[in-house]
């Protein structure tokens, strides 16, 4: 539609993009945004278009339609994450696109001395607008941006001025300067409600260079062809341009050397990934930039790891399973090789996951110590087995993992390359029917079960789509049981039940109208808390959260957050007086609610949704968190503190955590999502911790807490979260 919202807009360029799933052997990179182009079209005389593009499945995200035309602000429409597996998407009537007149935005680049920066190329990598009238959030960390009408070939003139056309009102434009004369950096310029003739001044920073040499620790030989990612810690609080990570990449030459121009900042992390086939470990090197220096050099010796080789085949047929993901999880507890201590106090050992070749073989290099080697086939027909993060350390509990096969390891540095063979057991297909309350097959519904994990090895609350009243769930154990929750968002009906898999025809699940509830959130004085959030979770398996499960050694719960169950309009929100209505509760299903704010949280209330009517759950009180461990016998010397924060992104984007503030020696591992610290004998006392969760599109959340460490007899540290 055109600016009036009524007349059709012919000749608009249309592009459909999607961000693809992550590969198991993918390098860590903080900027995981953008998307691949699926198809392009142009609107006809009626302002309409129709495109056939490849089907997207779970693991894909940000399925988007982009519309643009010269002189108009671009328009973006995202498919909700719950609809990523749908085979048809319509943007008509109230979901139509609208193009409105655009602005021209001008900026002027100044060099570090305040003079015009002449003939400097700029990369336009993002557009953000949360105020409207056109909401948009597009970020690419590397060019080219595959969108029609996107600003390209932007360069300053002799006065340092650059011009951007077709920018929407209130839109922030993200740019990068990668000219060798200046620092690599994010800069931003924002269009107002009205076009401004005077350019906005933007000052550049002086260039700085990081030069490194990577060698094998045991032989001293240079590591050629190693991939290097240099990330600068994001400032805190978030800078004016937004919470966007700054990272640069390089590859070592034949001498093991690389040269990059990192983003400004004092704290840097250098991730090194040796070339495939090398027996050396990937590492993470913590680096502090020397004040006042334009170039910094360092040598890094990378330790040798332990190569694990193996083959994955189907049980009974010995058919090789190609394309299977091979994961490794390194233990934290009872692991003398963890921690930033001794000669590698600023180097953390890592690993890189792998995948099987067409003949089912694989190779992966891992560090010594306890761990888990796990395999997950690309096809869903095999029966998963359950293990957990604590089993990687010889214990029980913690984050549940559901690979198709696994092996617990306890490796020593001098161990020779080891061979592993895995046999995957093929399961049966569990079939069933779903009917509405009127007895007719449902047109479409969402089915949740602990047995449906379409990607990776962790349960992420993905749904199986019920179409025309039928569903199929492959890879089931014929002797097992399956909990099933079905929700029809259109008719607002649902059902919860548990079934034996068996080998015959599946059950018929009859839905009934959803019910409702309310809960009130206050502080200890009974007053509503501004900015409080309510987490609503559908419980498929009862238990404690992953952190308490790791402490108690019991299986962790498995649940589905509201963001994965309901569209945004149905997620719990404060009605204004601290009361949170709960809508569309599935009758007979178990839920829990917990309230949080950046510094406070409540205990949880677990309840079963009523068969009919509404349920008042009472009061949730926000207060400072209590110690997770009660005082008792002092733990062994150097007991680690381990915490796995949980975050949910409304657009299903990957979440990155960074440690904004913490005691010396504390680290956060983006591979496993674990905060890790071994308190030293001189670190008794209170230690504030600030964690930041962010996606690649500039959204962030902060969690703050304090860790208290006491030094009992013998000066042994005792960690415990407060």
Task: Convert the pLDDT of each residue in 413-437 to its tens digit.
Answer: 999 888 899 999 999 999 999 999 9
Say whether both 92 and 224 belong to one domain.
no
User: Is 627 a domain residue?
Assistant: no
Q: CA–CA separation, 552 vs 390, rounded Å? A: 11
- Indicate if the pLDDT at residue 10 is higher than 80: yes
Is cis: bond before 133, omega within 30 of 0? Answer: yes
User: Is 635 a domain residue?
Assistant: no
Cβ–Cβ under 8 Å, residues 692 and 702: yes
Task: Convert the pLDDT of each residue in 514-542 to its tens digit.
Answer: 999 999 999 999 999 988 999 999 999 99
Say whether both 222 and 269 belong to one domain.
yes
- Confidence class for position 31, pLDDT limits 50, 70, 90: confident
Say whether both 420 and 439 belong to one domain.
no
- Indicate if the pLDDT at residue 661 is higher than 90: yes
Q: Which of 166, 154, 169 is nearest to 107 (CA)?
A: 154
Please identify, among 408, 424, 440, the residue that sits at the C-terminal boundary of a domain.
424
Say whether both 713 and 603 belong to one domain.
no
Task: Convert the pLDDT of each residue in 550-566 to its tens digit.
Answer: 999 999 999 999 989 99
Of the chain, the percentage scoring pLDDT greater than 90 comes to 81
Residue 714 DSSP class: G
- Confidence class for position 568, pLDDT limits 50, 70, 90: confident
Say whether both 371 and 267 belong to one domain.
no
Tokens of 543: 């238990």
User: Is 509 a domain residue?
Assistant: no
Query: What's 445's domain CATH number?
Result: 2.60.40
Q: Which of 24, 27, 367 is nearest to 226 (CA)?
A: 27
Of the chain, the percentage scoring pLDDT greater than 70 comes to 96
Q: CA–CA separation, 227 vs 25, rounded Å? A: 13
Q: CA–CA separation, 125 vs 185, rounded Å? A: 12
Cβ–Cβ under 8 Å, residues 623 and 526: no
Query: What's 715's domain CATH number?
Result: 2.60.40.10
Q: CA–CA separation, 405 vs 652, rounded Å? A: 27
Among the listed ranges 9-18, 317-326, 451-460, 676-685, which one has the minimum average pLDDT value? Answer: 676-685
pLDDT at 601: 86
pLDDT at 718: 45
User: Is 373 a domain residue?
Assistant: yes
Q: Per-residue pLDDT averaged across 21-33, rounded? A: 85
Task: Convert the pLDDT of each residue in 160-207 to its tens digit.
Answer: 999 999 999 999 999 999 999 999 999 999 999 999 989 999 999 999
Say whether both 342 and 437 belong to one domain.
no
Q: Which residue has the higher pLDDT, 45 or 640?
A: 45
Q: CA–CA separation, 427 vs 313, rounded Å? A: 14
Burial class from Cβ neighbours inside 10 Å (0-12, 13-18, 19+) for residue 94 reads exposed
The per-residue DSSP string of 427-449 comes to: -EEEEEEEE-TTSSBPSEEEEE-
User: Is 535 a domain residue?
Assistant: yes
Q: Per-residue pLDDT averaged across 255-277, rounded? A: 96
pLDDT at 457: 97
Query: What's 217's domain CATH number?
Result: 2.60.40.180
SS3 content of the chain, % helix, strand, coil (to 5): 5, 45, 50
Run of H or E including 146: none
Say whether both 41 and 125 belong to one domain.
yes
User: Is 673 a domain residue?
Assistant: yes
Q: CA–CA separation, 98 vs 168, rounded Å? A: 12
pLDDT at 343: 63
Task: Convert the pLDDT of each residue in 588-613 to its tens digit.
Answer: 999 999 999 877 889 999 999 999 99
pLDDT at 340: 61
pLDDT at 591: 98
User: Is 384 a domain residue?
Assistant: yes
Range of the domain at 544: 515-621
- Indicate if the pLDDT at residue 130 is higher than 90: yes
Q: Which of 356, 211, 328, 271 is nearest to 27 (CA)?
A: 271
Please identify, among 377, 399, 424, the residue that sits at the C-terminal boundary of a domain.
424
User: Is 699 a domain residue?
Assistant: yes
- Indicate if the pLDDT at residue 713 is higher than 80: no
Query: What's 564's domain CATH number?
Result: 2.60.40.1120
pTM, entire model: 0.92
Pairing of strands 400-401, 161-167: unpaired
Say whether both 140 and 4 belong to one domain.
yes
pLDDT at 420: 92
- Indicate if the pLDDT at residue 258 is higher than 80: yes
- Number of domains, the chain: 6
Cβ–Cβ under 8 Å, residues 582 and 520: no
- Indicate if the pLDDT at residue 716 is higher than 60: no
Q: Which residue has the higher pLDDT, 3 or 647?
A: 3
Cβ–Cβ under 8 Å, residues 550 and 524: no
Cβ–Cβ under 8 Å, residues 273 and 353: no
Say whether both 165 and 239 belong to one domain.
no
Q: Per-residue pLDDT averaged across 64-78, rounded? A: 98
Q: Which of 463, 660, 670, 694 is nearest to 22 (CA)?
A: 670
The per-residue DSSP string of 345-374 comes to: TTEEE----EE--TTSEEEEEE-SEEEEEE
Average pLDDT over the chain reads: 93
Task: Convert the pLDDT of each residue in 41-51 to its tens digit.
Answer: 999 999 999 99
- Indicate if the pLDDT at residue 304 is higher than 60: yes
Say whether both 614 and 675 belong to one domain.
no
Please identify, among 590, 621, 652, the residue that sits at the C-terminal boundary of a domain.
621
Say whether both 43 and 160 belong to one domain.
yes
pLDDT at 503: 63
546: phi then psi, degrees, rounded to nearest 5: -60, -40
Q: Which of 434, 523, 541, 538 is nearest to 481 (CA)?
A: 541
Say whether both 127 and 217 belong to one domain.
no
């Amino acid at each position: 539609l055109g600016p009036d919202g009524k007349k059709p807009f012919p000749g608009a360029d249309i592009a459909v993009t999607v961000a693809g799933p992550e590969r198991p052997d993918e390098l860590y990179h903080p900027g995981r945004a953008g998307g691949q182009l699926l198809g392009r079209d142009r609107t006809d005389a009626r302002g309409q278009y129709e495109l056939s593009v490849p089907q997207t499945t779970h693991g894909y995200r940000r399925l988007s339609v982009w519309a643009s035309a010269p002189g108009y602000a671009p328009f973006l429409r995202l498919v909700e994450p719950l609809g990523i597996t749908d085979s048809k998407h319509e943007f008509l009537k109230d979901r139509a696109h609208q193009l409105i007149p655009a602005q021209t935005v001008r900026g002027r680049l100044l060099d570090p001395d305040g003079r015009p920066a002449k003939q400097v190329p700029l990369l336009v990598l993002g557009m953000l607008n949360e105020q409207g009238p056109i909401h948009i959030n597009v970020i690419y960390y590397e060019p080219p941006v595959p969108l029609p009408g996107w600003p390209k070939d932007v360069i300053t003139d002799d006065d340092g001025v650059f011009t951007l056309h077709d920018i929407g009102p209130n839109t922030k434009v993200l740019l990068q300067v990668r000219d060798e004369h200046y620092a690599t950096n994010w800069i931003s310029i924002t269009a107002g409600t009205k076009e401004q003739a005077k350019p906005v001044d933007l000052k550049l920073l002086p260039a700085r260079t990081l030069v490194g040499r990577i060698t094998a620790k045991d032989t001293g030989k240079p590591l050629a062809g190693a991939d290097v990612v240099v990330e600068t810690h994001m400032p805190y609080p978030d800078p004016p341009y937004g919470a966007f990570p700054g990272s640069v990449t390089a590859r070592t030459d034949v001498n093991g050397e690389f040269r990059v121009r990192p983003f400004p900042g004092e704290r840097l992390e250098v991730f090194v990934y040796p070339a495939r086939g090398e027996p050396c470990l990937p590492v993470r090197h913590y680096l502090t930039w020397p004040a006042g220096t334009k170039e910094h050099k360092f040598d890094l010796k990378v330790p040798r790891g332990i190569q694990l080789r193996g083959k994955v085949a189907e049980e009974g047929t010995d058919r090789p399973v190609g394309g299977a993901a091979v994961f490794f999880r390194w233990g934290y507890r009872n692991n003398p090789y963890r921690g930033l201590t001794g000669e590698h106090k600023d180097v953390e050992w890592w690993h890189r996951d792998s995948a099987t070749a067409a003949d089912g073989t694989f190779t992966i290099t891992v560090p010594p110590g306890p761990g888990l080697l796990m395999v997950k086939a690309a096809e869903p027909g095999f029966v998963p087995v359950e293990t957990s993060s604590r089993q990687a350390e010889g214990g029980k509990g913690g984050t549940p993992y559901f690979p198709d096969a696994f092996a617990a390891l306890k490796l020593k540095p001098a161990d020779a390359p080891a061979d592993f063979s895995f046999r995957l057991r093929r399961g049966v297909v569990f079939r069933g029917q779903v009917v509405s309350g009127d007895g007719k097959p449902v047109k479409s519904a969402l089915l949740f079960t602990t047995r449906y994990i379409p990607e990776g090895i962790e349960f992420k609350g993905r749904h199986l789509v019920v179409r025309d009243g039928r569903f199929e769930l492959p890879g089931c154990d014929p002797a097992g049981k399956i909990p099933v929750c079905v929700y029809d968002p259109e008719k607002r009906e649902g059902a919860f039940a548990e079934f034996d898999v068996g080998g015959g025809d599946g059950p018929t699940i009859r839905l009934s109208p959803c019910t409702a509830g309310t809960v009130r959130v206050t502080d200890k004085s009974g007053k509503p808390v501004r900015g409080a959030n309510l987490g609503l979770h559908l419980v498929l398996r009862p238990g404690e959260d992953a952190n308490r499960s790791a402490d108690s050694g019991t299986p962790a719960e498995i649940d589905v957050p509201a963001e994965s169950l309901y569209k945004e309009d149905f997620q719990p929100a404060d009605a204004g007086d601290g009361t949170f209505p709960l809508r569309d509760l599935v009758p007979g299903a178990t839920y829990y609610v917990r309230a949080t704010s950046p510094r406070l949280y409540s205990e949880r209330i677990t309840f079963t949704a009523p068969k009919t009517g509404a349920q008042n759950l009472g009061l949730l009180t926000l207060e400072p968190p209590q110690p997770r461990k009660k005082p008792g016998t002092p733990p062994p010397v150097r007991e680690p503190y381990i915490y796995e924060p949980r975050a949910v992104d409304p657009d299903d984007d990957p979440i990155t955590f960074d440690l904004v503030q913490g005691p010396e020696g504390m680290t956060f591992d983006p591979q496993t999502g674990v905060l890790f610290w071994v308190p030293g004998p001189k670190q008794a006392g209170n230690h504030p911790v600030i964690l930041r969760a962010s996606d690649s599109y500039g959204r962030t959340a902060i969690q703050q807490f304090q860790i208290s460490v006491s030094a009992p007899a013998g000066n042994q540290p005792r960690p415990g979260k407060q």
